[in-house]
Structure 1
């Protein structure tokens, strides 16, 4: 039974008890008062009649006339005159009961009227006796009217008290509902605070709940700070705060293997000339400052390309991984970097005008990591023979780049002609069972060749077609789910998630394919997730009713503070392959993965490792608590 209903029952019960008590006391008091008043009325009228008769002749006609005159006033039940012998000379009586008064009421509160008597004298002798009995019907009417008014008043007071109590309950209930919502949010891994109410008792409870939420948030913040510190220690250069060699090599391996990357690009190696001499001439502190300025200059020119990665590989070498940068564009870009570095000489950060040289290696998907590195080292060696030189080495032409208009025509035409296809790659759990398959979009060109997503997605993003392509991927995924029994994971861009029109169309698709929608896993790149935190939370609220899971891919790829995962109710994290490559020989990344697994388990999230290459890496990851894996080793395990 609800509290409000219990309060109403209490109000009704109290009202009835109050009415019963007041009714009994009031009726008995009023009855006694009326009985006294009726007796006084009877006695007074008997005395007045006796006095009048004593002054008149004592014949029967006169007595009858005077008795009748008093009786006809209508207030008396009985008027009687008897002589000294007790003979009734005149008697008038009216025993009719009052109309409008229930019989049960008169039986419950009977009114007993005392008769008034007076002696009639004839000179000095007694002539007779007058008996007058006031009628009780007016008393009953008055008593009943008072009872009815009391009932109305008590009911009105009870109703008013109930309304006031209901309003008070609603006022008190508001913070209670907020506390319930807060408790439910905690169970859903969302931590919110609420305003303290005015009710003192509830204020203490709310304050305790808010304190608990604040402590939980602090705990998560501490865990996030610890993960960030571990990530920085394991994968950042301590002087320049750029990525270190291990992280850079992991990303380069991904760029050569992962279809999400552009199908071609360039690796740029910068070697600072005579760093040892600069250190000797200027001192260690000035040399360190010089390296920090170099890192800042390089980062400022590549900051707008979130898929590029800048790293300090060793003391004098910097590396820039530039997916999508063509071999034709790379030398000009490198010379622009050198021109910006020349400013360091003008502002006297260094005393050397020959600052460095660039070696550039163009690559394509499928190239071996060692081949690309060797090509870049050879280019750098050739560049060192000349001051501020740039050398590019490439053993094959990269795919021709279409202009924006051609890409728009190609993509829109493919959407109209349904020329998009999907491929998928397995994601396994700890027991090598299929968790889901990652869906990748492919574009079938007019000549029959297939373009991977990394080839056309950057152009689609620049042309504003990402929501359309993402919706097409979901449509193809739902068609695929109609044929298979396993779940599918689909990557969505942050642009699409923030587009309300896209989300509306997506929800409409899910509604039409409700049976298949529960096997969809939606994931967003960590970079987009970082920028669209609220959009991702709102997106989750829209699609979760259909059974869809929400996750983050490439988690940890971009340096920066870890987002507040507990606000998003995520289902899984895919840890970026940059941390996974060679993890069996990298204790720092092992500590980082263990910390990520810990914070994920605290939020009831699944952790999946990306880009696992061999069983040695997976064994270490499994010991660290990672629950799923993908990459070449997972594909080989499933096929085997």
Structure 2
């Protein structure tokens, strides 16, 4: 029972007690007063009338007229004149029931029994008779009943007024309790938030204690996250440039080549510093390090300036002199390659007076059906051609433009808009299983029906991104999934991959939220976004979580691994699960102890705040037992067989 209800019950109980006490005292006092006054009136009127009759002639008619006149002028219930033998001479009785509106139970509860007025009438020296006067008590009952009703109404008004004031005061005093309850619920949900300390002493002590608990747990999570992040960074990055090291870069490349979507077109660029040993001798160790850092920075800046051309990117340092870039889901590699050639040429010229700096570069595209060995052979041959130019030059694969289905932006825009209007955006489902090989949910991969052919995401998503149509594509896919009978009946749960553009375009985001609200099956959706996109746009993600979490949706990270250092911030929004990047899972399969230690620590940290951790890119379902030993809760990938 709420405090407000308890307050009302207490006030009502107290007012009832006070009412009955006051009623008893006031009513008994009034009753005594009325009885006293009626008794005096009866006695005075009886003596006065008896004296008048005693002094007049005792003719029966005159006596009766005098009694009748007295009866009519006063409020009497009965006037009775008896002879000395007790026989009635004159009797006047008020026969109308004027007390009908006063409840009988009230008259029985508060009986007014005034004493009758009795006087003797003389006729000379003889007794003429006895006069008995009884006043009408209806006015006393009516007055007492009216007073009682007014008393009751005032008490009801006072009770309501006190209840309203008490409710307002209670709500004002307990307003900090809402924050306390939210904080307690958050801690129960393993979200360790802090609240502002209220002024009320008791609440202040409680909130302070809970804030201390949250702060300690948060500090523990941050320290553990920081430790894991440092472990991950050391095992995955080149210490000088901060780019991915060869092992991690190759592992990421392998995970892309093994992706379920074999038609996605990706790009790779290779940059080499010719004769690094001579450069090092000429410039010196310290300045050569600055040169390497500058090249890494130039590559990163160039790639980021063209981020609308691709989905994700990875920069790596393969060895002392070779830098590489992977761009996923890119349709046209030439703009990035040409821009990089310009930047690198300018950078090489800045060292022209100190050293002959040559930076040959190569660029090619690849798909998931290509082997790593063939890819490296292809780009190495292009790099050899670039080296033969004897200066900073970019050699681009000649067939790089010949693989698109549609060639220009207008054709793609028309195709995508037609598909959106005709329901051509559909989903292909891939299973995600728990560690016991039971279906957790199905992951929806976007497909596009064009002229009777289903295009994979790699064919059209680069153009959808370039044409700013990703939010509309996400909405169309969500509508398609929510319309599936198995989802509506609760037989199937589906993970929907969203783009960060959908969250950043507030109108499209609100349309998606409204769609989820009206669908009736929002609790069957697992909404996920790439980790890198979330960490770069954290506020948009937090706002989105606050909108969809109350609807029952589960929210998670996809391709996670590099952002565990910020997981303590993410847990505040009620994150439900994390899908660990396939490159880490492949490292575990190759018995990479550093990656295994990192994933094991991430599982421990994730479980401590209620997260499920799911492995991506599983190649063999038989590896589930090993994943369970590490602490993972599920898996998805080519090794998980598709179910009917």
**For the superposition of Structure 1 and Structure 2, which TM-score range results when normalised by the shorter chain?**
0.7 to 0.9
Q: For residues 361 and 563 of structure 1, do their structure 2 counterparts lie closer, same or farther at Cα, with a shift above 3 Å needed? A: farther
Of 290-299 and 554-563, deviating more is 554-563
CA–CA separation in structure 2 for the residues paired with 1:620 and 1:78 = 108
Deviation at 1:66, TM superposition (A): 12
Matching residue of 1:99? 98
Q: 1:563 to 1:251 in 2, by over 3 A?
A: farther
Deviation of 1:250 after TM superposition, in Å, equals: 2.2
Q: Report the alpha carbon displacement of residue 533 of structure 1 after superposing the two structures with TM.
A: 0.5
Q: Work out whether 1:461 is the aligned partner of 2:469.
A: no
Map of 2:578 onto structure 1: 573
Q: Which residue of structure 2 aligns with residue 318 of structure 1? A: 323
Q: CA deviation at 1:227?
A: 3.8
Contiguous gaps of at least 5 residues in structure 2: none
Aligned to 1:161: 159
- Supply the distance in 2 between the matched residues of 1:38 and 1:445 (Cα, whole angstroms): 105
The offset of 1:339, in angstroms, is 3.2
* Distance (whole Å) between structure 2 residues aligned to residue 477 and residue 222 of structure 1: 40
Question: For 2:267, what is the secondary structure of its paired residue?
Answer: strand
Query: What do residues 294-327 of structure 1 show as CA deviations (whole Å, max 9, x unaligned)?
Result: 3333322222326222233444443222343757
Offset from partner CA, 1:102-161 (integer Å, 9 cap, x none): 665555423332757799999xxx9989988764425x5235413431332223322431
- 1:272 offset after TM fit, Å? 7.0
Q: CA deviation at 1:71?
A: 6.8
1:76-475 matched pairs, under 5 angstroms: 96=94, 99-100=98-99, 105-106=106-107, 108-113=110-115, 115=117, 135-138=134-137, 141-166=139-164, 168-169=166-167, 172=170, 175=175, 183-184=184-185, 187=188, 217-258=218-259, 259=261, 262-271=264-273, 274=276, 278=280, 282=284, 284=286, 287-304=288-305, 305=307, 307-323=312-328, 324=330, 332-342=338-348, 345=351, 352-365=354-367, 366-377=369-380, 388-390=391-393, 392=395, 394=397, 399-401=402-404, 402-413=407-418, 423-443=428-448, 451-474=455-478
- Alpha carbons of 1:417 and 1:81: their partners in 2 closer, same or farther (altered >3 Å)? closer
Cα distance between partner residues in 2 of 1:565 and 1:472: 28
CA distance in structure 1 between the partners assigned to 2:437 and 2:130 by the alignment: 115
Aligned with 2:360: secondary structure? strand
Q: TM-score, normalised by structure 1?
A: 0.76
- Do the aligned partners of residues 43 and 442 (structure 1) sit closer, same or farther apart at CA in structure 2, a change above 3 Å counting? closer
Query: Any gaps of 5 or more consecutive residues in structure 1?
Result: none
C-alpha RMSD of the superposition: 5.0
| Cα deviation code 1:536-563 (max 9, x no counterpart) | 315634863xxx6543221235798447
Q: How many residues align?
A: 618
CA distance in 2, matches of 1:510, 1:45: 84
Contact 1:271 1:316 in 2 (8 A): yes
- Please give the alpha-carbon distance, in whole angstroms, between the structure 1 residues aligned to 2:227 and 2:435: 26
Residue in 2 that maps onto 1:29? 29
Where does residue 569 of structure 2 map in the other structure?
564
Distance change in 2, residues 1:161/1:221 (3 Å): farther
CA–CA distance in 1 between the matches of 2:92 and 2:52? 23
Moved more, 16-25 or 301-310: 16-25
Render the CA deviation track for 1:189-240: whole Å, top value 9, x for unaligned. 5666667777665665566556655555555544544443333233233443
The residue aligned with 1:20 is 20
Q: Conserved in 1, the CA contact under 8 Å of 2:362 and 2:394?
A: yes
Of 555, 558, 561 in structure 2, the residue corresponding to residue 553 of structure 1 is 558
